[in-house]
Amino acid sequence: MNTYLCHFETLDSTNILAVEFAKKGAPEGTVIVAKTQTNGHGRMNREWVSPLGGLWFSIILKPQVDPRNVAQVTLVTGIAIAKGLRKLYECDDITIKWPNDLLLSGKKVCGILSEMQLDVDGAIDYAIIGVGINVNVCKDNFPNELKNFASSLNSSTSKSYSNEEVLNVILREFIEFYEVWMSKGIDVLLPVWKQLNSTIGKAVSVKDNDKVIFSGVVSSIDERGAIVVVDNSGLKRTFDFGEISIR
């Protein structure tokens, strides 16, 4: 996969522009990057605060997979980002929290928002992978309610890399793992995800729209990227949506 970088000073949201570009036929590998976003959004329609210093970008993809498997791209992206950041920052304490957060010492430093569009025949038209990484964001810029849960790479590691360096490293890893996914499928990547994750084995509450719907211990992840949670009566449930809080 080739990449085609498009840089902007300010956008409402790189995901929104990526959707517009994809609808106009932009090729796979188009990457939209903005220094700030005025209407950045996260999962569950939450606001994503996107000040200067952060790395905000979206990749247009056209994965040749069964549409039922397209959500696996989030696992692939998580692997690529965790691997890239671990290498660059020489830090093994960067882990993946299911489904799509990256934590550094337990605090969120990156979120991934994927959006898919199918065509009239039910085939994948395009997928947009939006990535927000708190690279050099000053902690004072985090909203109060996030200060205990979020961090930036720069403040937690005292290492300072430009957003360009971080983007290059991540795109290199992404291309590698995306190509593995395309050629070999997710089975060879699940062990890699498992090795990087900090979710399996944890006691969690599964939430849907901020409401707890199940609590238990995460026992595994399946090939669709869904987590398997077992409660203390032994009841096992699988979740491929929602979010978890680690208890």
Among positions 10-49, residues that touch ligand BTN (CB under 6 A) are: 13-15, 37, 40-43, 46, 48
> For ligand BTN, which residue of 29, 63, 99, 132 counts as binding (CB under 6 A)?
132
User: Smaller CB distance to ligand BTN: residue 51 or 185?
Assistant: 51
Q: Does 109 bind ligand BTN (CB under 6 A)?
A: no
Least Å distance, CB 1 to ligand BTN, is: 19
Give the CA angle between residues 41, 104, 99 to the nearest 5°. 50
Separation between Cα atoms, residue 153 and residue 131, nearest integer Å: 15
Least Å distance, CB 17 to ligand BTN, is: 9
Residue number, nearest CB to ligand BTN: 111
Helix pair 72-89, 163-184: axis angle to 10 deg: 140
User: Smaller CB distance to ligand BTN: residue 162 or 219?
Assistant: 162
Whole-Å CA distances, 154 to 13, 15, 89: 23, 25, 9
User: Smaller CB distance to ligand BTN: residue 50 or 156?
Assistant: 50
Among positions 49-68, residues that touch ligand BTN (CB under 6 A) are: 50, 56-58
User: Smaller CB distance to ligand BTN: residue 113 or 221?
Assistant: 113
Burial class (CB in 10 A: 0-12, 13-18, 19+), 90: exposed
Site size for ligand BTN, by CB under 6 A?
21
Q: Does 113 bind ligand BTN (CB under 6 A)?
A: yes
User: Smaller CB distance to ligand BTN: residue 94 or 131?
Assistant: 131
Separation between Cα atoms, residue 173 and residue 181, nearest integer Å: 12
Least Å distance, CB 111 to ligand BTN, is: 2
Q: Does 152 bind ligand BTN (CB under 6 A)?
A: no
User: Smaller CB distance to ligand BTN: residue 42 or 67?
Assistant: 42
User: Smaller CB distance to ligand BTN: residue 113 or 123?
Assistant: 113
Residue numbers of the site for ligand BTN (CB under 6 A)? 13-15, 37, 40-43, 46, 48, 50, 56-58, 101, 111-113, 130-132
